[in-house]
């Protein structure tokens, strides 16, 4: 399948012009996409390979943070990375919560997952190249399925998913959202994997096929092509049970917090990778 040359040129230009910004964390998105790509069916793997730019060298993980970088160019996409839920309810409802700050419905990470899933379902349609940029759709969907598995991407409205809660991560100043985007993963890599993200990926992949094997089958299950409402409901529950719990303005988060929350991060990364692969396998057949 061929993409419109103008779309490809625009896409490449954006990659060259836009500075890097972090989302779930660059490593978090890399992990999710690497887990997913290793689980693709042949048809899905072929489609992903066709849609990735040549310079990606068939490595979806290398562009899994692209959607964060283009927020500065595609301003409309900023609201698509998260969901704001009512404070302290610890529940998510699509019709209530999936809207942007202006109240425009469907503009949240769950709505974006539905949208880009539907776009990718046109893959193979001769007319789809003129209607959608499916390379961008692939990268948006890959990123947003990662985002929705980061608990604080489905967080309270008043603190913007922990973005306004100042804490210390050991001795360093941080905001709670960034702790979950980056710090927990980085600290785990430094402490357990000699700062090697590939070793962490290998561990998660082994766990998916062993200790989580039965759970992984359940993670894949979805009555539709994509099930973001399930992932969002899990996310706000994890945010309440783990991310927000015991944390206030100025909290110092050290080993007690890290060692109890790190398994939650591992699980959400694994779930995101398994579900991204399952979604692609359903989309591409």
Long-range contacts of 259-263 (CB under 8 A, 24+ apart): 261/180, 261/184, 262/184, 262/187, 262/188
pTM, to two decimals: 0.91
Residues 6 or more apart whose CB falls under 8 angstroms from that of 15 comprise 66, 69
Q: How many CB atoms lie within 10 A of CB 56?
A: 18
CB–CB of 219/211 below 8 Å? Answer: no
The CATH number linked to 225 is 1.10.575.10
* 285 residues of the chain, pLDDT tens digit each: 444 433 444 444 444 333 333 446 999 999 999 999 999 999 999 999 999 999 999 999 999 999 999 999 999 999 999 999 999 999 999 999 999 999 999 999 999 999 999 999 999 987 655 689 999 999 999 999 999 999 999 999 999 999 999 999 999 999 999 999 999 999 999 999 999 999 999 999 999 999 999 999 999 999 999 999 999 999 999 999 999 999 999 999 999 999 999 999 999 999 999 999 999 999 998
What's the longest Cα–Cα distance across the chain?
Answer: 56
What is the per-residue pLDDT for 126? 74
Q: How many domains does the chain have?
A: 1
* CB burial readout 196-213, b (16+ within 10 A) else e: ebeebbeebbebbeeebe
Residue of 130, 180, 215 lying closest to 28 (CA atoms): 180
Domain that holds residue 185: 5-284
Cα gap 265→104, rounded to integer Å = 31
Cα gap 219→110, rounded to integer Å = 17
Residue of 269, 57, 46, 280 lying closest to 151 (CA atoms): 269
Residue of 276, 8, 48 lying closest to 141 (CA atoms): 276
User: Token pair of 262, please?
Assistant: 């790190």
């Amino acid at each position: 399948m061929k993409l419109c040359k103008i779309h490809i040129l625009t896409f490449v230009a954006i990659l060259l012009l836009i500075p890097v910004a972090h989302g779930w964390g660059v490593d978090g998105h890399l992990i999710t996409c690497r887990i997913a790509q290793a689980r693709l069916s042949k048809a899905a793997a072929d489609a992903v390979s066709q849609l990735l730019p040549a310079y990606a060298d068939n490595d979806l993980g290398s562009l899994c943070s692209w959607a964060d970088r283009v927020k500065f160019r595609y301003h409309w996409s900023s609201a698509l990375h998260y969901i704001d839920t009512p404070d302290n309810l610890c529940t998510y409802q699509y019709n209530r919560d999936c809207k942007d700050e202006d109240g425009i419905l469907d503009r949240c990470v769950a709505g974006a997952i539905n949208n880009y899933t539907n776009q990718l379902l046109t893959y193979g349609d001769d007319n789809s190249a003129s209607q959608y940029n499916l390379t961008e759709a692939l990268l948006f969907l890959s990123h947003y399925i990662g985002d929705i598995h980061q608990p604080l991407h489905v967080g309270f409205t008043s603190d913007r998913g922990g973005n306004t809660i100042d804490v210390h991560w050991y001795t360093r100043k941080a905001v709670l959202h960034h702790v979950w985007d980056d710090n927990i993963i980085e600290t785990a890599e430094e402490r357990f994997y000699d700062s090697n993200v590939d070793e962490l990926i290998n561990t998660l992949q082994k766990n998916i096929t062993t200790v989580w094997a039965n759970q992984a089958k359940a993670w894949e299950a979805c009555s539709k092509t994509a099930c973001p409402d399930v992932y969002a409901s899990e996310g706000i529950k994890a945010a309440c049970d783990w991310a927000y719990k015991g944390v206030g303005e100025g909290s110092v988060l050290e080993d007690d917090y890290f060692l109890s929350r790190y398994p939650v991060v591992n699980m959400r990364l694994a779930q995101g990778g398994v579900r991204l692969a399952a979604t692609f396998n359903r989309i591409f057949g």
